[in-house]
Amino acid sequence: MSLSASFRLVFAGPHRAGIPFIAGGVVGAVAGVVVSHWLLGVSVLFTLFCLYFFRDPERVPPNRPGLVLAPADGHVVSIEPAAPPAELGLGDTPRIRVAIFLSVLDVHVNRMPAAGRVSRIAYRHGKFLNASVDKASVDNERNAIALVLPNGQDLAVVQIAGLIARRILCDAHEGEVFAAGSRFGIIRFGSRTDVYLPHGVGALVEVGQTMIGGETVLAQL
């Protein structure tokens, strides 16, 4: 990554979900000037962390039809057959699931992995286990989205809360049509995003590979 690209990534503007946290940090810093240097220091550090965590850089999706893109930054922790979340009604036949773990240092904005129409959104309460472990896909709190692609195939993308994450935000609505790489939500703070590929479609990435949300190609339809 070039120096200019790294600069744009680190200093990208914040996602709207981070505004209340950033504003709170600024208020704390102002109060710290009057009250105590300790409060000032903590508030400044908190504000800087929130500016970094909630950054929302622009991404350029590949201009080629039939691609499935990474829905989030992070690294691939597993690629294996699994049935989509039952609440989506996509059946129990296993399909390839690509699981991406997001650390607190990654960009947490989620992006649609492919162009298509949202056919169902289902939120399920659950546990807050370490999102990097495999059972997080089943046990953790999650928001699952089913997407119907232009060719009639379907896939699922699932936002999963983690050990620290306590809030999943989803801006998508059932019936809404998205372009590949479009923003649809964010998870606070540290999380996981899974993609269940269409039946018969394999992954083009490897476990351990670093993902760039909205740009890295996961699969070719």
Domains of the chain, residue spans: 3-53, 67-220
- The tokens describing 25, both together, are 């940090």
191 is known as an active-site residue: yes
The catalytic position among 43, 132, 137, 191 is 191
Q: Each residue of 28-54: pLDDT tens digit?
A: 888 888 888 888 888 889 888 888 878
Indicate the pTM of the whole model: 0.85
Residue 85 near residue 122 (C-beta atoms within 8 A): yes
Name the CATH topology of 67-220. Answer: Glucose Permease (Domain IIA) (2.70.70)
Q: Each residue of 16-33: pLDDT tens digit?
A: 777 887 888 888 888 888
